[in-house]
């Protein structure tokens, strides 16, 4: 287990965070359409190669979450597989292993994440290919009369079973229970559902004998619903989020790497920075996708001549978030 502990600690090292570049082909295609670029396996590889070869990226990024397609591709113009190239830069390669969120029951708005079938074989293959951590995302929706206890429990059980299989395969599991912030709900409702979700997730992790020193938690921040008339201040979001985590996350967990959800790039940094002005039991960092990549994607626009400017935009965001992990932004 000591290898898992040291990798988990590296993933959440002070001043560094995780780049989520594990967009599914469908999601990546939508992002490319927004900039007028055709999404092909080649164009996706061109874009990600530009990101990963950013000079000095390893100063701010400890690990990169990859999608299966990307995991098997080579950095453009080289003979290096992407995981091997990342390792050469002292960046840990990770892999998204869930197969998506599907309706909990027919006609239900609630979702349950799938992907446990055949997972241990897949994890073994990914480890052999160079993966050192994995990711599984559970989705909890707030709405009229939801989430149900059944939905929270089903997702927490899935996360715990996945986490145990990861550790058995020598991979650090990123445990990602995301309470979605779409809607008109208040920050109080957000706190209540996040509190219940985290409580259930840690109950399940303990019941399944998952080693908490060898995981990274990737939760949502506690925010007002995006369509709520009363938007909580940066200070209140930081205070409510830390209170919720302190109540539910054992101190053995080495670190918390927040997802950005639908927050603006700037708010995601400001909230993280505010939290890091306080002392906590864990390293508190970021695992952002869009909030790190959005500026870079627009500049790249499918043109290799824009590579330097693309990399500059990514590095600028990564550096700002790195400062926020120390409360120095």
Catalytic residue of the set 16, 111, 135, 218: 218
Clarify whether 218 is annotated catalytic.
yes
Tokens coding 317: 């965001």
Do residues 222 and 240 touch, judged by C-beta distance below 8 A? Answer: yes
Clarify whether 277 is annotated catalytic.
no
Do residues 65 and 95 touch, judged by C-beta distance below 8 A? Answer: yes
Nearest alpha-carbon partner for 121 in 89, 159, 88, 168: 168
Tokens coding 108: 């239900």
CA 272 vs CA 24, 32, 164, 199, 314: distances in Å: 26, 28, 29, 22, 18
Helix runs in the chain, H state only: 2-11, 25-34, 41-52, 68-71, 82-88, 119-128, 149-168, 187-207, 234-248, 265-275, 290-300, 307-324
Cα–Cα distance, 221 to 256 (Å, whole number): 11
Catalytic residue of the set 176, 178, 196, 274: 176
CA distance between the termini of the chain:
35
Q: Which residues are catalytic?
A: 176, 218
């Amino acid at each position: 287990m000591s290898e898992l502990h040291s990798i988990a600690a590296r993933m959440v090292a002070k001043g560094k965070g995780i780049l989520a570049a594990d967009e599914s082909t469908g999601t990546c295609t939508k992002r490319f359409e927004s900039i007028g670029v055709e999404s092909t396996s080649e164009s996706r590889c061109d874009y990600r190669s530009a990101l990963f070869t950013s000079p000095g990226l390893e100063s701010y990024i400890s690990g990169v979450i990859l999608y299966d397609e990307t995991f098997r591709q080579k950095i453009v113009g080289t003979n290096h597989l992407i995981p091997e190239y990342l390792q050469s830069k002292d960046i840990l390669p990770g892999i998204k292993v869930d197969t998506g969120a599907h309706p909990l029951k027919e006609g239900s708005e609630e979702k349950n994440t799938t992907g446990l079938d055949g997972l241990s074989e897949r994890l073994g293959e990914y480890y052999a290919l160079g993966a050192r951590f994995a990711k599984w995302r559970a989705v909890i929706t707030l709405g009229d009369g939801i989430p149900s206890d059944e939905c929270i429990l089903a997702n927490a059980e899935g996360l715990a079973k996945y986490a145990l299989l990861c550790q058995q395969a020598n991979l650090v599991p990123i445990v990602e229970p995301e309470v979605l912030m779409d809607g008109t709900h208040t920050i109080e409702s957000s706190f209540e559902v996040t509190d219940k979700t985290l409580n259930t997730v840690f109950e399940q992790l303990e019941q399944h004998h998952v080693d908490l020193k060898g995981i990274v938690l990737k939760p949502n921040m506690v925010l007002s619903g995006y369509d709520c008339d009363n938007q909580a201040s940066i200070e209140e979001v930081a205070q409510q989020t830390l209170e919720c985590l302190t109540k539910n996350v054992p101190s053995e967990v080495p670190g918390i790497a927040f997802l950005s959800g639908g927050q603006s790039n700037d708010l995601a940094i400001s909230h993280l920075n505010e939290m890091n002005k306080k002392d906590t039991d864990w390293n508190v960092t970021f695992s952002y996708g869009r909030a790190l990549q959005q500026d870079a994607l627009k500049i790249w626009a499918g043109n290799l001549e824009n590579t330097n400017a693309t990399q500059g935009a990514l590095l600028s965001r990564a550096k700002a978030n790195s400062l926020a992990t120390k409360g120095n932004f």
